[in-house]
Every structure is written in structure tokens, then in C-alpha cells.
Structure 1
Amino acid sequence: MNTLPDVELCFPQLLNTSCRKPLQKHAENMFINVLLSCISLFTVALNLLVIISISIFRQLHTPTNLFLLSLAVSDFLVGLLLMPIRILLMGGCWVLGSFMCGVFHYSSFILTSASVGNMVLISADRYVAICDPLHYQTKVTNRRVKICVCLCWFCSVSYNGVILKDFLKHPDRYNSCVGECVLVTDFFTGVFDVILTFIGPITVIIVLYMRVFLVAVSQARAMRSHIASVTLRGSVPVTAKKSERKAATALGVFVLVFLICFCPYFYPSLAGHDLLSTETFSVFGIWLLYSNSCLNPIIYVLFYPWFRQAVKLIFTHLVLHSESCTVQLTL
């Protein structure tokens, strides 16, 4: 390969095999890197606050919050592992070697699948809570929730290990030069993956949420029709129903943000293209997917008073007191 003096290579010592660096405007590139670094930092910090809050405060050890904890862990790992490496790729060269290339793509697939699985579990939890509240305590227990969460992560690790087994054996098989990290899967594998990872779970999430929404609306109408006859004795179940409707609204926002962030990422597969990470997937689609991990804890701030109170206790160092785990938060 002939090289020109003004051409920058990823590895200048490998003149015949090194990839060329793309021509970039340094000022614009620096601004983008700073912006994406801030998103990564906020993602790690916000999800770490969620993890600490649910882990420390005993009142928050509920089945629903265990699902939220699992989602926060996957979002935290996206901000801690995937986002910084993706920022390095903005420079146009992969400098971490072929082994880390395989680990990076494998981790990316695992965390994406785990996030989708957690959203399905959260939707199912809200479905039982709204549509079958009398049996919720017996159907959804902490033990069953822990089993479901473990199965979600196990299936994500196993499933993606199967579809990426050939790539993991030879992570550099699709690289055209040194300094590249390319992942390619065939059309049928891509279709199979998008059905199991996106279309199937999204269908389940939407169906469950529509059912939750209809039941919540019917409950609201029933409450309004009997509001004049509500007594002090009946105020407790009214508050409980209001709390459940608020949780249903939060789920709706979760689902909407989830769809907005995930659809562009899966569009190439839906359109029938190969999964070529360096060509087909746009940088915008990947970072929009990653931004979902930063938006989820922001939704917690808007809809969950307990999260705002827990964060306040953490930043005022009151959480360091031995009795802090028994503090009563507003749910």
C-alpha cells in the first residue's frame, strides 16, 4: 500500500498494513469528545446513585425496585465501559487489540439484551400490580424476582455468546487493516437477533403497557364517579390506586424513551442490512441507544420521590449513619 507523507496512520510503523486515520476537524472533534465524555460521566454518576439508594435503604428492597436495580446496573456498565471505549473509536483507530475488540462487542450485545430483558420484567411487574393487585404479593416475591433477574442476565450472556461464537474465536477476521474493529454477522443471524432482542420484547412491552393503561384509566373513572362518597376509611385504597397509576405513567415514559432510543439502532437490521458496526450503524444511532442509560435515572428523578430523598441523604452524608438504612422515604 502506497502512503503519502501527509497521511496519518493508526500505526505509523506498519506502513503496509496500518489503517489510515480519517480526516477530522480538531476543534469540532474535541467538542464532541467533551460532550460525549460528560454524557458518560452523568450516566455513571446517576446510575450509581440509583444503585446505592436501592441497596442501602431497607424500605426500597421491594420486587419492583429490584428490577430497577438490575436495569441501573446495566445502564451503569454502559456508561463505565461502553461509552469511554466508543469515544476512543471516535478517533478512527482501534488501539486495544483484537482480544479487546471481541470483548467490547460481546459486552455491548450483553448489556443491550439485558436492558431489553429488564424492561420486559418491569412491564410484567407493573402489569401484575395494576391488573391483579390482590394476588401481587403472592405472585411477585423477592425470591422470584431475584431468580428472574439472574435468568435475564444468564440468557443474555449465553444467547449472545452463541450468535457471536465465530466472531469471538477470530475477532480480527473482518478487519481490512491493523487499527480496525469490525463486527459482521450474516443476514439470517441479524434477522434472528433483531426478532429475539427487539421485535419480540418490544411487542410484549407494548401489549402489557396497553393493558396496564386501560386498567389504570378504568380505575380513574371509577374513582371519579365515587369521589363524593369517599370516606376517611376509604382514603387509603384511593391513595394506593393513585400510586399505582403514577407508576403506570412512569412505565409509559420508560417505554416511550426506550423506543425512541432503541429504534434507530435496530433500523439497519429491520431494513435488511448486514450488521456492520463501522459502516451500517451510524454514530448517532449508537449514541442514542447509549443515551437511554442516562435518561432512565432522570425519569426516576421526575416520577419517584424516594429517589430524590435518597439522593439528598447521600449528598448530605446522613447515609453514613448506622440508622440510615431504616429511614422512611416517601414512595
Structure 2
Amino acid sequence: MAINETTDVTQNTTSTLYDNVFNGIVYLEALLIITGNTLTFVAVKQTKKLREIPTNVFILGLAASDGVIGLMTPIFITLRFLKIEDAWSGTVCVLYGPHFSMFWISLLTLLAIAVDRYIAVVQPLSYRQRITTKRAKIISVAIWIVAFSLITSLTCLFGSFGVGSTAVRIVFPKQVSMFFLQIIIFGPVLGNIIIYICIYINLKKKQSVVFDGTRANSEGTHRSTSRTTKAYVNMMALVLVYLLIACVPNYILQAVSKQLQTSKPEWFVYISNLSVILFYSNSFMNPVIYSWKNRNFHQAYKNILLCNRSSGIRSEDSICDGSRTENRSTV
């Protein structure tokens, strides 16, 4: 008995330590999410060159959805730590609904950016007339309203808690509801992939075009615009790829977890927790990707961070020192 009791104590201590480390990592991720996406907001709002690009309106929408995830994450972890998550009947509607809707908002926003980049590649001359910052704002707001209301409502209806969930399952069988939710999730993913394939095909065609003498004067401008467009395409394609890498394993393991019910091996729990950490990393990696792939974002982030340690924001363009710092390289 003494040996068994010692083993139980050791296992409990190890489990507690593991839980504390896991919770600490996710709390740190939440801090990075809030900090990074706030930095993106300030960068776009305070930098004229970034603010005038319609694509960056969608990037702000993406940063907002990631920021909400960062704000909600500590609540999830606190409920999990206190072991009262399952005891609260409002968990699905109040927490999981908005949380799932942020993921779909991210997918739809990336789809809007893909369409925006496709128009910039295929119809560069009329792009400014077709896509304006005002229209981008309207589209971004519409995405938020539709995605938030639809996903939150569906999550509450098909959730495992709440009054009437049994009746809902009679009308909408589990297989039907899961199929519907899969279409909602993977539809935008497939749309993004198709559009980016079309974009790369068109970029390759444009690169193979040989300019004749009558277009020689505009060749430099065309190449500069093409480089800018291609760089934004590469940046947002990388954001999409990392989103899939970070989120797909978590959703697959969540689906498997529901099938296993209570019979979950210990290794599965560890892998599931790692997938959760990877899932949340997506929300703070986007600002890192912007800084890495776009020099305007990189300079804006740098100026903001320097201002936090020095004199504060004095100018839109240079942000820190009041001089008009021109970033000649668009990417």
C-alpha cells in the first residue's frame, strides 16, 4: 500500500506540474497574441503608407479576430485550471461560439484577401477603382457580422450543453450537423487554395511577357507594381499555410477525442495539448510573418517599439522622430 500511495503521489505531482507548464505556455501565448495584434493595429493606423493600402483593411480584420482569441484564451485556461468548465452550462454559447466564429472570420478574411490579390494580379490597371479602402471596410464588417452570428448560433444549437440540444439533435442528426460544419470550415480553405493557385499561374504568365518598344517607358512601373503585388501574395499565402498547419491538427484531434469519449490514452492527451499550443501560436505568428515579409510593416513595428522607449508618436510617417522617413522598398 505504501508503494502504491507513493506512486499515486508521484503521478499526481507530475500531472500537476505538467498542467501548470501547459497553462503557463498558453497564458504566454495569449500575451503574445494581444501584444502582436495590437502592434499591427497601431502600425496600420499610424503609418500612412500602410493605411492607404486596401489589403491592410482586411489585415486589420484578421488582427482583430486573432486579438479576440487572445483575450478569450485566459478565460478558457482559467476554467480548465479550476475544473469548472464542464459544470458551467453556458460554456458553449458564451465561449465556444465566439471562439469558433473567430476561426471562421479568419478563413473568410483570408479568402477576401485572396480575391483582392487576384484582382490586383489579373486587372492591375483597374484595381484601384474596383477595390477601395471604403469597400474593403464594408466587406470586412460584413464578414464579421455574418460569421459571428452564424457560427455562434450553430455552436449553441449543436453544442453538448444548453436547453433544447436533445431536440435539435433529433431534427439535425449528428452526421448532418458535422457535415454542415465541415463545409463551413473547409469551404473557405478550398476557395483560398484554388484562388492562390490561379494567382501563381497568372504571375508566371506575366513574368513570361516580353515588353515591346511601345511599352518600354512603362516597364519599370509595371515591374515595381508586379513586385509589390507578388510580395503581398507571398506574405498572405504564407499566413494561410501557417493557419492550416496550426489549426488542422487541433480540429482533427478534437473530432477523434469526441469519438473516444472517456477512453483516451495518456499519449493522446499530450498530443492534444501540443496541438492546442500550436493552434494558439497561429494568432501571434501573423505579425511575425508581416514583419518578416513586408519592410513597411517591419519599419512600422520598429518605430513603434522605439517610441515606447523614447519620445512617443509624433508623426504618421516616421512615427517616432517627426521626420518623414520614406521606405522606398515596398516589401
Q: Name the TM-score class by shorter chain.
A: 0.7 to 0.9
Q: Cα distance 1:290–1:248, how it changes in 2: closer, same or farther (>3 A)?
A: same
Q: CA RMSD in A?
A: 3.7
Q: Following TM superposition, by how much is the alpha carbon of 1:117 offset from its aligned partner in structure 2, in angstroms?
A: 1.0
Q: Is the 8 A contact 2:120 2:229 kept in 1?
A: yes
1:136 is the counterpart of 2:117 = no
Q: What letter matches 1:212 in structure 2?
A: I
The answer for the alignment partner of 1:37 in structure 2 is 27
- Listed as ranges, the matches of 1:1-331 within 5 Å are 25-61=15-51, 62-81=53-72, 83-91=73-81, 93-94=83-84, 97-99=88-90, 102-166=93-157, 171=162, 186-196=174-184, 198-222=185-209, 234-267=219-252, 282-317=272-307, 320-322=313-315, 324=317, 328-330=326-328, 331=330
Distance 2:127 2:27 in 1: 42
Greater helix content: 2
Q: Cα distance 1:232–1:226, how it changes in 2: closer, same or farther (>3 A)?
A: closer
Distance 2:260 2:48 in 1: 44
Distance 2:122 2:254 in 1: 35
Q: Is the 8 A contact 1:194 1:270 kept in 2?
A: no
Q: How many percent of aligned residue pairs carry the same amino acid?
A: 22
Q: Following TM superposition, by how much is the alpha carbon of 1:321 offset from its aligned partner in structure 2, in angstroms?
A: 0.9
SS at match of 1:155: helix
Could you state the TM-score of these two structures normalised by the residue count of structure 2? 0.77
Q: Cα distance 1:323–1:201, how it changes in 2: closer, same or farther (>3 A)?
A: closer
Distance 2:80 2:160 in 1: 26
Distance 1:168 1:186 in 2: 11
SS at match of 1:91: helix
Any stretches of 5+ residues in structure 1 without a counterpart? 1-21, 175-184
Q: Cα distance 1:147–1:169, how it changes in 2: closer, same or farther (>3 A)?
A: farther
Q: Following TM superposition, by how much is the alpha carbon of 1:31 offset from its aligned partner in structure 2, in angstroms?
A: 2.4
Distance 1:31 1:269 in 2: 21
Q: Is the 8 A contact 1:113 1:156 kept in 2?
A: yes
Distance 2:158 2:191 in 1: 30
Q: Following TM superposition, by how much is the alpha carbon of 1:236 offset from its aligned partner in structure 2, in angstroms?
A: 2.4
Greater displacement, 205-214 / 138-147:
138-147
Q: Cα distance 1:169–1:267, how it changes in 2: closer, same or farther (>3 A)?
A: closer
Q: Is the 8 A contact 2:48 2:316 kept in 1?
A: no
Deviations 1:253-287 (A, max 9, x none): 122112212222332688796798x9899333343
Greater displacement, 136-145 / 282-291:
282-291
Q: Cα distance 1:34–1:308, how it changes in 2: closer, same or farther (>3 A)?
A: same
Could you state the TM-score of these two structures normalised by the residue count of structure 1? 0.77
